[in-house]
Structures are given as structure tokens and as C-alpha cells.
Amino acid sequence: MITITDIIELIHIGESITLEYKTSFDRESIETLVAFANARGGTLLVGVADNGAVPGVKLGKETLNEWLGKVKSSTSPSIIPDIEAFDVDGRTIVAIQIGEYPIKPISTKGKYFKRFASSNHQLSINEITDLYMQSLQLSWDAYEAPREDLNSLSLNKIEQFIDKVNQCERFTLEKPPLLALEKLKYVVNNHPTWASMLLFANSPLRHHIHIGRFKTPTIIIDDRQITETLFDAVEHAMKFIVSHISVAFEFNGSLQRKERFVYPLPALREALLNAVVHRDYANPSDIQIKIFDDRITIFSPGRLYGGLTIEEIKSDSYQSQIRNKLIAEAFYLTKNIEKYGSGFIRIREELEEYPEVSFDVEEIGGGVLVTFSISASKSEGVSEGVSEGVSEGVSRLLGCIRNKAGLRIPELSQELHVPKKTIERWIKQLRDENKIIFKGASKTGGYFINE
């Protein structure tokens, strides 16, 4: 049970993914409890302001029972939190606690919420489906593909997969191919699952990788749409990437010279694999890869899965859940991925030898965008095209501010289709050069040309 000491400590630590303050109990309070129940659980303190001040709350004889009744009648399935009042320096604070609910998602008035960072996020239809399947420990790719039969699968691709799995020695598969796929649950009731269709179909499903080499966001040097089963799609995308990035040569004192690509290829491959393995295949959007002079971006449809946050994946101790379990297992058994949930850690490890390359990840436009950028200050001499690309980017940003004065960093990011971190660097350069200024309040102002 929570104690008065716990309450005092919670007041001082600030709102988080498991803690929220409210000055009064209202509809938003119930939404917060639903968001907690759909995530990790949490505590709602009623009578505490956002800044940690304690105005307290007035209670009648039946107030707490009335609040419980409202929570129960407004949620489906009904949740019943623990509720208790405390006296803190003569003011009443009510602590309402709810644990993570085992069967998700919970709704209130037909709306579904989940806790992200220190705020409530209303779930989309795809996110509601993900949460439901996650709570039942199901995976979309394990379902039978309707209107498909075993003739839809390529025997040659299946046999190549079986041979590769046996060579990698993480698992042993025996032929005939059908029995091997049944053993791995890729075939159920003599029907292919969505995973087997994505991996082995004769006619690949229409989940594209759209990849291009750009001079600017509107000038495309080369463009390709890859529609293949997943193993082939990864290989073809990597070949395109390698053909469009610069390579230098290093000499270590011996007669041999060593190739050094501008970006670490294992890190790029890991980011590509993350996009292919973990994307939301119920989302009709394509994986999009854009190669510029100074950066490479990879966009994967679908937000982070299982409550994972951007802040968590930037650490080395994050715990991830898998949206596409059978697809992930196929790439694991063939040693394309080393272990589940380690992709971003491996990318950071590879980048240790590339201090001139920065890496950023963000959720944007209903998906996850990762960006590899070459620092202009550190890459001098590596590639002439890199510094030109940075200058072009800054010029585009300056033109955007001139044409659409008053925009803020998130809006500029959307206008130019460039990550916010990159916009922040370009903004700093323009401000240092006294070409732009910020006008207005910190929360409502924007950037203007410095006339």
C-alpha cells in the first residue's frame, strides 16, 4: 500500500510514464487511468498541480465512492483502481492507483488511450489491434493468409531458407519443406501464414521498399521500387545503398589499401533490417529510404511497438517486444539478426568507429524515421559532396523561413521532410551567422529572416 512518505516523494519527482498530477477529478482523470492500465500501470495524484504545488482537494463523505463508480461505469472492460486520501500539511491529496491490466485494451467512452512519456496518447485503429494481440501474446504474421494455399509458396525459396537455417546451426530443419514450415508454424492447417507469404510467396505481396538517391528533396538522381519477398528485398536494397554512397581508401603502412565507406555498412544494414522485420505490415505505406549527399534516412511504417519509447531505445538497456514474431524468427535463424531487440545497440556499436556520423531516431508521420548524418565539421576531406549537401540543406531552410515566416522547428521539419535534430543544427548555424531570429513567446513564437 502507498504511504504518506511515498506521496511526498511522488510530489517532488514530477510527472512521468507512471505518474500524473490533477488539481481535480474529471473526465481526463479517467482517461489517465485508462492510459495507465493500457501501459505499465501508474498513480494519479488528485489535488496536485502540474508544477508540483499542492492546492489540495475538498472531499465529501461519499466522494471517493462516487469517483470509483464513475471510473467503473466509464471504462470497458471496467477497471477498479485503489483509492486513498492523505493529509499533506493540512491539504487533502487523493492517490488513485491502477496496475497494468492483463487483457488490453481498456477504453473510456469508446476511446482508447495509452501512456507515453508523461502524457496520454489516443490510440489509432492499428495501435488498438496491436495492443490487443500483444496482450494475448499473438502476432499478426502468425495468422493464416485468407484465400491463399500452399501453391502460393515458392518451393525453391523454402528450400534455400531450410539450407541457410541448417548452415547457421541455430536450429535444425528436415525436409520435406512442408513439414519444416509446419514445425516453425509458417504453415497452419495446410495454409500459409502471412509470415510465409511475406518470406516465400511466388508473387510477392505489395509491401514495397521505395528507395532513391536525392540531390535535393525534389531532385531525384536515381529511384527504385523494390517489390520482393523479404530476404531478397533486403539484399536488393543494400546493393542500391552501397552503389550510391562514397568510399575512401585508408592505408595502414602496408601495401594493402582498405576501403572505408562514408557510413558503416553493418549499421546501415541493421537499420534496414529493423525497418523490414519490425514494420507494421497492416499499414499500406512503403518503407522509404532516401540517400542525400549528407544523410541517409530510413522510414518504417508503424509506431514503436509494445509501449517502447524513443528515450528507451536510445539506451542500451531497453526491453523490446516483437510485432512480427515469425518474421523476426526467420531472420534470426538465418543469422541476419543476432538476437531480438538488439538492433539499435548494434548500430551504436558500429558507429563508435565513425565519430563523424551521427544517428537519430524519431517517431514521425505514423512511423519510425532513422537518420544517419555526416557532420560538416568532422567530415571535411572525406567527401566533397557531403559539405555541399549540408550547405544546400541550410539554404533550403533559409528559403523556407523566408517564404513561410514564423514556423517552429517541428513545422520546419515537416515542410522540408528533414529530422528535427538536423533542423536544430541548421537553425544554430543560421543564428550564429545572424541570418535568422526567433520572435515571440517560447511556446508560440517562430523563426524569421533577420532583415
Confidence of residue 164 (pLDDT cuts 50, 70, 90): very high
Q: Report whether pLDDT(449) > 50.
A: yes
Confidence of residue 316 (pLDDT cuts 50, 70, 90): confident
How does 334-360 read in b/e, with b if 16+ C-beta sit within 10 Å? bebbeeebebbbbbeebbeebebbbbb
Confidence of residue 381 (pLDDT cuts 50, 70, 90): very low
Host domain of residue 19: 4-123
Alpha helix segments (H runs only) across 336-419: 343-351, 384-403, 409-416
Q: What is the per-residue pLDDT for 259?
A: 72
Region 351-362: mean pLDDT is 92
- Cβ pair 59, 94 in contact under 8 A: yes
In angstroms, how far is CA 302 from the centroid of its own chain? 7
> Which residue do the cell numbers 487523493 mark?
94
Position 87, amino acid: D
Residue 133 lies in a domain: no
Region 307-313: mean pLDDT is 83
Residue 153 lies in a domain: yes
Q: What is the per-residue pLDDT for 340?
A: 67
CATH number at residue 43: 3.30.950.30
List pLDDT tens digits, range 121-132. 999 887 887 787
Same domain for 172 and 255: no
**pTM confidence score:** 0.62
Q: What is the per-residue pLDDT for 136?
A: 62
Q: Report whether pLDDT(341) > 80.
A: no
Q: What is the per-residue pLDDT for 384?
A: 42
Q: Report whether pLDDT(390) > 60.
A: no
Residue 428 lies in a domain: yes
Same domain for 277 and 179: no
Residue 107 lies in a domain: yes
List pLDDT tens digits, range 415-438. 777 778 778 888 988 888 889 999
Same domain for 360 and 239: yes
Q: What is the per-residue pLDDT for 75?
A: 94
How many whole angstroms separate alpha carbon 16 and alpha carbon 35? 12
Burial class (CB in 10 A: 0-12, 13-18, 19+), 265: middle
Same domain for 392 and 351: no
Region 261-282: mean pLDDT is 94
- Cβ pair 366, 303 in contact under 8 A: yes
What is the average pLDDT value for the chain, to the nearest integer? 88
Q: What is the per-residue pLDDT for 366?
A: 85
Residue 132 lies in a domain: no
> Which of 12-26, 91-105, 219-233, 247-261 is least confident?
247-261
Residue 129 lies in a domain: no
Confidence of residue 98 (pLDDT cuts 50, 70, 90): very high
Q: What is the per-residue pLDDT for 391?
A: 58
Same domain for 114 and 165: no
List pLDDT tens digits, range 198-213. 999 999 998 899 999 9
How many whole angstroms separate alpha carbon 62 and alpha carbon 163? 69
Region 291-316: mean pLDDT is 88
Write down which residue in 200, 220, 247 finishes a domain. Answer: 200
Q: Report whether pLDDT(446) > 70.
A: yes
Same domain for 227 and 248: yes
Same domain for 422 and 349: no
Residue 135 lies in a domain: no
Higher pLDDT, 305 or 193: 193
> Which of 62-66, 381-385, 394-398, 400-404 is least confident?
381-385
Residue 329 lies in a domain: no
Same domain for 101 and 10: yes
Same domain for 363 and 219: yes
Q: What is the per-residue pLDDT for 255?
A: 54
Angstrom CA distances, 8 to 13, 14, 91, 322, 447, stand at 9, 11, 12, 38, 41
Region 341-359: mean pLDDT is 90
CATH number at residue 245: 3.30.565.60
Region 311-330: mean pLDDT is 84
Same domain for 367 and 315: yes
> Which of 93-102, 280-289, 382-391 is least confident?
382-391
Same domain for 310 and 224: yes
Q: What is the per-residue pLDDT for 109?
A: 92
> Which of 91-100, 152-161, 313-322 is least confident?
313-322
Same domain for 167 and 109: no
CATH number at residue 417: 1.10.10.10
Domain count, the chain: 4
How many whole angstroms separate alpha carbon 31 and alpha carbon 351? 41
Confidence of residue 379 (pLDDT cuts 50, 70, 90): very low
Strand order in the sheet with 357-364: 219-226, 209-216, 287-291, 295-301, 367-374, 357-364
Which cell goes with 332? 534470426
